[in-house]
Amino acid sequence: MARSVLVTGGNRGIGRAVAQAFARQGDRVAVTHRGSGAPPGMLGVKCDVTDAAQVDAAFAEAEAAHGPVEVLVSNAGITDDALLLRMPEERFARVLDTNLAGAYRVVRRAVPGMLRMRRGRIVLMSSVSGLSGAVGQANYAASKAGMVGMARSLARELGGRGITVNVVAPGLVLTDMAETVSAARKEQMLAGVPLGRHAEPEDVAGPVRWLASEEAGYITGAVLPVDGGLGMGH
Ligand code: NDP
């Protein structure tokens, strides 16, 4: 049955591939954007996840068109890398506010509708950096590790109501975000990837779609690495 799906940051990169994967199977998909509009065939709702009022308005628009959100993919995120001593508090806080508090805001807005339906699927986009840490990413890695604790707490809170909450942890995915990573660092990461290549957004989209499927209904509080083996052992 077609479901109402909302993907934050679904206008480009990994989020766009995720949104397309849901749309291809016939779901009604809304994507958030901050002015770029939506990919063809999808409903675009304008939203900055650092602003709870914009989150509320975006959900209201998506729900008016598609019904209560049954699948939420919290994917919007940023990096702002710097070594600790060159990272002022503002840069630490901005990344936490976007990645971690942003996820909190969209989940909080989505859950009442899911509780009423007594079903729902929530997938949070974390990162291998959140599990292994990375030089220059104290802010980003903290935000992504925080998602794991949040997801597992919510998995416990919401499991009895038929709502699953899971985390996906990609390795390096070739998107605009990866453009900010130096060639030397990319080479270094690649050397640690048993599958011998970086990911395309579609490599992440399939696992997200599956975690939100009926088949994955007995999986909650899980962290699914989609990293070619880069982070094995976490
Ligand atoms: P991109 O930089 O290509 O896209 C980032 C997306 O997040 C855009 O849609 C952007 O919207 C949105 N976004 C950023 N800030 C906000 C905000 N304040 N409010 C609403 N939307 C916002 O990144 P990716 O597609 O690569 O990354 C997607 C997710 O995957 C992120 O959470 C990232 O941390 C994670 N990830 C990425 C990896 C990679 O190697 N690429 C590896 C592991 C995890 P807009 O177009 O308006 O800027």
> ipTM of the predicted structure?
0.99
Q: Enumerate residues 6+ apart whose C-beta is below 8 A from 181.
A: 172, 189
The total number of structural domains that make up the chain: 1
Q: Is residue 134 part of a domain?
A: yes
pLDDT band at 1 (very low <50, low <70, confident <90, very high): confident
Tracing tokens 């060159």 back to the chain, one arrives at: 86
Whether 156 is in the pocket of ligand 1, judged by its Cβ within 6 Å, is no
Whether 125 is in the pocket of ligand 1, judged by its Cβ within 6 Å, is yes
Residue 118 has pLDDT above 90, yes or no: yes
Q: Is residue 153 part of a domain?
A: yes
Residue type, 78: I
- Residue 52 lies in domain: 4-226
What is the model's pLDDT at position 41?
A: 87
Would you call 104 a catalytic residue per the annotation? no
Q: Is residue 221 part of a domain?
A: yes
User: Of all residues in the chain, what percent carry a pLDDT higher than 90?
Assistant: 97
Task: Output the CA–CA distances (angstroms, integers) from residue 189 to 16, 39, 80, 134, in the order listed.
Answer: 24, 31, 18, 11
Tell me which of 140, 171, 172, 189 is the catalytic residue: 140
Q: How far is the CA of 196 from the centre of ligand 1 (A)?
A: 24
pLDDT band at 200 (very low <50, low <70, confident <90, very high): very high
Whether 80 is in the pocket of ligand 1, judged by its Cβ within 6 Å, is no
Q: Is residue 170 part of a domain?
A: yes
Residue 17 has pLDDT above 90, yes or no: yes
Check: CB of residue 110 under 8 Å from CB of residue 123. Answer: no
Task: Output the CA–CA distances (angstroms, integers) from residue 36 to 33, 46, 151, in the order listed.
Answer: 6, 9, 29
**pTM of the shown model:** 0.98
What tens digit of pLDDT does each residue of 181-197 get? Answer: 999 999 999 999 999 99
Q: Is residue 231 part of a domain?
A: no
Q: Side by side, which strands form the sheet with 4-7?
A: 43-46, 28-33, 4-7, 71-74, 120-125, 163-170, 223-226
Q: Is residue 140 part of a domain?
A: yes
Q: Is residue 95 part of a domain?
A: yes
If you take atom 13 of ligand 1, which residue's CA is the nearest one? 76
Report which ligand 1 atom has the smallest distance to the Cα of 140. 34
Q: Is residue 232 part of a domain?
A: no
CATH at residue 12 = 3.40.50.720
Q: Enumerate residues 6+ apart whose C-beta is below 8 A from 157.
A: none
Q: What angle do CA 159, 8, 151 make, to 5 degrees?
A: 30
What is the model's pLDDT at position 46?
A: 98
Q: What angle do CA 156, 162, 165 make, to 5 degrees?
A: 50
Q: Cα-flanking dihedrals φ and ψ of residue 128, to 5°?
A: -55, -30
Q: How far is the CA of 231 from the centre of ligand 1 (A)?
A: 20
Residue type, 110: A
Tracing tokens 């220059």 back to the chain, one arrives at: 136
